[in-house]
Copies of this chain bind each other. A is one copy, B any other.
Amino acid sequence: MIEQHVIDTLRRSFELHGFASIETRAVETVTQLLRKGEIDKEVYAVSRLQNDDAGKDAALALHFDLTVPFSRYVVENAGHLDFPFRRYQIQKAWRGERPQEGRMREFTQADFDVVGDGELSFKYDVELVLLAAAALSALPIPAFKLRVNNRKLAEGFYRGLGLADTAGVLRSIDKLEKIGAEAVAKLLEDELGATAEQAAAALALAQIRTEDLSFVDQVRALGVHDDLLDEGLAELAEVLGVAMRQAPGTVVADLSIARGLDYYTGTVVETVLLGHESLGSICSGGRYDALARKGNRIFPGVGLSIGVSRLVARILSQEFATASRAVPTVVYIALNSDEAWPQAQELAAGFRERGIATEVAVAAEKYGKQIKFADRRGIPFVWFVAEDGTHQVKDIRSGDQEAADPLNWMPPAADLAVSVVVGSPADR
């Protein structure tokens, strides 16, 4: 119920921003999946258990994310889509990783992307950061922080600094949190030929982290000049400026964020749940100037992916939220004779038409036993016909019982549907 609540809430956020849902098959060709390289060890292959036509078909595998399938989808459907095309996609993905909390071999991702044909306004980068903040804010989770950087800023800075292998520098800086500043400096000097001063400047850049626009002056103070750097600074400043007004407290300019994948070309985002940093990023992505290619058409995109399973695992283990009851049922119709079952079913049909989730007992056991069963299932109300023929409804939680009209009774609005309550039962 918690997971379904998270997914329903995300759907709602995405649709309020005009994103339409698509779904792609779980299985892709291996060729398609490995196009970006590097992750073949994590991929699960799929084949017929009794393969009578071995070799006849292309090798297949389960998708490991939703970006690669979406890229294929865009190419295949380019003729039918209106660009900029905005879609969300909430599906399972599979990776052969070592399982731990927040890292499962089968997991659900919620992706949202905008894709253009040939060009795509930078404004979408800003919009998607706002959407990420809005979507995460609607979930029953603690405070989070979107850590935003810009590849142009970083690459321009390294270039202006005289470090030509900007991708190599990015990959080294990406290891900062894991191996520390000293080890990264050594990497930069030993493997990329940086001087101590260049390494120090690259590390100084990565240490800049501001929740306002002051990061711009801090970068300028490092004395590096480059056109791409200027462009990146302006873009990141626009993201921060708008986010400070519209989603205050949720976004930080964090110049250490690199994102491992090479295809990001502008805005990059990772997200931490405050106090739960070890969980890893719960929402990541960015801008890629070529999400897909078809002949000489290029489809740039900007998109983010929310780790639904990762979040839900933490919500459950930390009791960030609980369901108000374990079953959808609001009322349990008890029987005073086995023969009353068909009439009880008709009563139930009327209740259900009014949106009241109803179960009917199957045997006229003692009322105490029937009430106990409903109570054990967490059903709040029991309905029965008293000896005087009146219909009675009992709130099992309070013990209150009153006569009720079967044609008009409604439970209190708070009990009608299962609600997801923020905080653990112990906190209430």
Residues of A within 8 A of B (CB): 1, 3-4, 15-21, 23, 25-27, 30, 40-41, 43-50, 52, 61-62, 82, 84, 86, 92, 94, 96, 106, 121, 123-124, 126-127, 130, 134, 242, 245-246, 326-329, 341-342, 345-346, 349, 352, 355-360, 362-363, 373, 376-377, 379
Q: What are the residues of chain B within 8 A of A327 when measuring CB–CB?
A: 18, 20
Partner pick for A106 among B26, B45, B127, CB 8 A cutoff: B26
22 contacts across the A-B interface (CB closer than 8 A):
A4-B21, A15-B328, A16-B352, A17-B352, A18-B358, A18-B359, A18-B379, A25-B106, A26-B106, A40-B50, A41-B50, A41-B52, A44-B48, A45-B46, A47-B47, A124-B362, A127-B362, A130-B345, A134-B352, A245-B346, A246-B346, A246-B349
Given A49-B41, A49-B43, does the pair A92, B18 have CB atoms closer than 8 Å?
Answer: no
Compute how far the CA of A21 lies from the CA of B4 in the bound complex, rounded to whole angstroms: 9
Given A329-B18, A345-B242, A358-B18, does the pair A48, B48 have CB atoms closer than 8 Å?
Answer: no
Given A48-B44, A49-B30, A123-B362, does the pair A246, B345 have CB atoms closer than 8 Å?
Answer: yes
A332 — nearest CB in chain B belongs to which residue?
B18
Q: What are the residues of chain B within 8 A of A44 when measuring CB–CB?
A: 46-49
Partner pick for A16 among B27, B358, B363, CB 8 A cutoff: B358
Across the A-B interface, the 5 shortest Cβ-Cβ residue pairs: A18-B329, A15-B328, A18-B359, A123-B362, A121-B362
Compute how far the CA of A342 lies from the CA of B245 in the bound complex, rounded to whole angstroms: 9
Given A43-B50, A121-B362, 19 more pairs with CB closer than 8 A? A3-B23, A15-B357, A16-B357, A18-B329, A18-B358, A18-B359, A20-B327, A20-B328, A26-B92, A30-B49, A41-B52, A43-B48, A44-B48, A45-B49, A46-B46, A123-B362, A130-B345, A134-B352, A246-B346
Compute how far the CA of A341 lies from the CA of B360 in the bound complex, rounded to whole angstroms: 56
A326 close to B20 (CB less than 8 A): yes
A327 — nearest CB in chain B belongs to which residue?
B20
Compute how far the CA of A316 lies from the CA of B16 in the bound complex, rounded to whole angstroms: 25
A377 close to B82 (CB less than 8 A): yes
CB distance from A42 to the nearest CB of B (A): 8
B45 close to A123 (CB less than 8 A): no
Compute how far the CA of A121 lies from the CA of B335 in the bound complex, rounded to whole angstroms: 14
Compute how far the CA of A345 lies from the CA of B121 in the bound complex, rounded to whole angstroms: 15
CB distance from A323 to the nearest CB of B (A): 10
